Amino acid sequence: MKWVNNLRWWLADRVSPFVRGPAARHVRQRNIWHLYQDLIWLGLASAANTYITVYAIRLGASKQLLGLQAAIPSLLMVLLRIPAAQLIERSANPKSLIVRSLQIGRMVFLLIFLLPWLAHLPLLRQIPQAALLIWIVILMGIPSVLSSAGWDAFFAAIVPANQRARVVSTRNMLSNLIVLVVVPVMGYFLDWAVFPVNYQVIFLLAFVGAMVSAWHVNRIEAGDLSFAPETPQALNWQEVRRIISGSREFSTLLIGTFVYQWAISISSPLFNIYFIEELGASDSWIGWRTTLASLASIVAYRFWPRPVEQRGERTILLLTAPMMVLFPLLTGLTRTLAPNLFIVLIPRVFGAAVMLSRYNILLRVSPAERRPTYIAIYAILMNIAAFFAPLIGVRLADWIGIAGVFFISAALRLIAALIYQSLPKLPAVPAGDTSPVQT
């Protein structure tokens, strides 16, 4: 039939190039294509991640245990991030370290799939399954310290400065598109299938997606990727102080984002508890909320790159950061589930702008030859907040209620937005700036 032939030719013309990617000789374009494929496949793991805390709650996890899940990985980042960054800077093959650590860290999904059987092993039999799940997630986060230490510098080295906002935006759009489709299907499957087989199936699917994602990262051609200066400087407290005090742009971004991280992390373990235990949410409702959030993210990441490029990262950050106050504030004021299907759109719409602009600013104010170290300092400070804030948040929830913690989160977001107002203006990026790129 003619329409079948037309459809076949349309698919060959539109879909096949996206599946195959650019020709091998177009190194930069093919690297970016692999970055997109990375997020498409990782979307399966991101969708399953939505249900890790839900799984833990179904297994009987307490607020304190969920607080540890949110806090301890950040402590590991604080302790290990600078040694990991220095290892990346001095490595003869940074990409290999990044890929191997990604592969090992993503084994967490396989271990969660095996959880019901692991719980019957003699050495683990006395540990409640909820606690075993949380500790698997925590311990398997250790390899992620190494991949996190090198990823931002790796990304900056293969994507030109004037294309970063668009590439980051497209990657997030693709990831959210997969989440948009997969999360509600997973939610209905979890409600329909027998527990715990239902959770095992989705985490096995997540493991497959995570491994394919890592394969695509490994296929990126980074060329002679090297970050270390000719004379490496020891990173001690004096050097950290020199780096922070030497750049007003970096120090302002650092302080504002530190407060912002407190705002996010103090309430992060409490949302699913609030929805499930206080408002009676089902797994499928959690899935639909995530789906709507992903849809909003797709639209937001499609919209914001052009304003960021036209008006500058600083301007967009100053305009959108105050809007993030509304998310915890309105959530804390609700007593039914329905409004939260719309409130969750706020952090996705404006959070995309905050993330894109802040990330671009961070890469621009970090010298290329020491970028892993600068980003390590930034990450360590954020993880100090991410370690203490959840533990304080769950304790505060026992005293003032979960809604009260949401209001504290709103106040901290407002303070962060005010700090960002003192961020100095940044020089314009030349349209043809590709200096950090090595192919």
Residue 27 predicted with pLDDT over 90: no
Give the integer Cα–Cα distance in Å for 282 and 33. 37
Domains identified in the chain and CATH numbers: 27-220+234-420 (1.20.1250.20)
- The closest of 131, 136, 105 to 207, measured between CA atoms, is 105
Q: How does residue 438 score in pLDDT terms, banded at 50, 70 and 90?
A: very low
Q: How confident is the model at residue 14 (pLDDT cuts 50, 70, 90)?
A: very low
Q: What is the mean pLDDT of residues 380-407?
A: 87
One-letter identity of residue 73: P
Task: Look at residues 327, 335, 320 and name the one whose alpha carbon lies nearest to residue 411.
Answer: 327
Q: Which two tokens stand for residue 240?
A: 């950290």
Q: For 13, how many CA atoms within 13 A lie in the half-sphere containing its CB?
A: 6
In whole angstroms, how large is the CA radius of gyration of the chain? 22
Longest dimension (CA), the chain: 74
- Give the pLDDT of residue 5: 56
Cα–Cα distance, 246 to 410 (Å, whole number): 31
Determine contact, residues 260/416, Cβ cutoff 8 Å. yes
Tell me which range, 43-47, 254-258, 285-289, is most confidently predicted by mean pLDDT: 254-258
- Nearest residue to 111 (alpha-carbon basis) of 52, 61, 151: 52
Name the band, by pLDDT with cuts 50, 70 and 90, for residue 439.
very low
Residue 315 clears pLDDT 60, i.e. is over it: yes
**Segment 391-418 mean pLDDT:** 92
Residues 6+ apart with CB under 8 A from 75: 383, 387
3-state secondary structure 256-318: HHHHHHHHHHCCHHHHHHHHHHHCCCCHHHHHHHHHHHHHHHHHHHHHCHHHHHHHCHHHHHH
**Nearest to 313, CA basis, from 161, 120, 99:** 161
List, in order, residues 6 or more apart from 68 with CB less than 8 Å away.
134, 138, 391
Number of other CB atoms surrounding residue 384 within 10 Å: 17
231 pLDDT exceeds 50? Answer: no
Q: What percent of the chain has pLDDT over 70?
A: 84
Average pLDDT across the chain, whole number: 79
Residue type, 237: W
pLDDT 10s digits, 150-207: 777 777 777 776 776 677 777 877 777 777 778 788 888 888 888 888 888 989 999 9
Tell me what pLDDT residue 177 has: 78
What is the mean predicted confidence (pLDDT) over 321-326? 93
Q: Find out whether 82 and 100 touch, Cβ atoms under 8 Å.
A: no
The pLDDT-based confidence of 232 (bands split at 50, 70, 90) is: very low
Q: Which amino acid, 428?
A: A
pLDDT in tens, 237-275: 776 777 777 778 888 888 899 999 999 989 988 888 888
C-alpha distances in angstroms, 392 versus 170, 201, 436? Answer: 36, 34, 41
Instruction: Report the alpha-carbon distance of residue 373 to residue 366 in Å, rounded.
Output: 9
74, two tokens: 């950040």
Instruction: Give the pLDDT band (50/70/90) at residue 16.
Output: very low
Residue 322 binned pLDDT confidence (cut-offs 50, 70, 90): very high
More confident residue, 172 or 404: 404
For 89-119, the pLDDT digits (tens) are 676 677 777 888 888 888 889 988 988 888 8
% of the chain exceeding 90 in pLDDT: 12
The tens digit of pLDDT for each residue in 219-230 reads 887 665 555 544
Question: Three-class SS string for 400-420?
Answer: HCHHHHHHHHHHHHHHHHHHH
DSSP notation for 131-160: HHHHHHHHHTTHHHHHHHHHHHHHHHHHS-
336 φψ region: left (φ > 0), alpha (ψ -120 to 50), beta (else): beta
Length of the chain measured in residues: 439
- Contact criterion met (CB below 8 Å) for 32 and 155: no
Q: Which of 159, 225, 227 is nearest to 373 (CA)?
A: 227
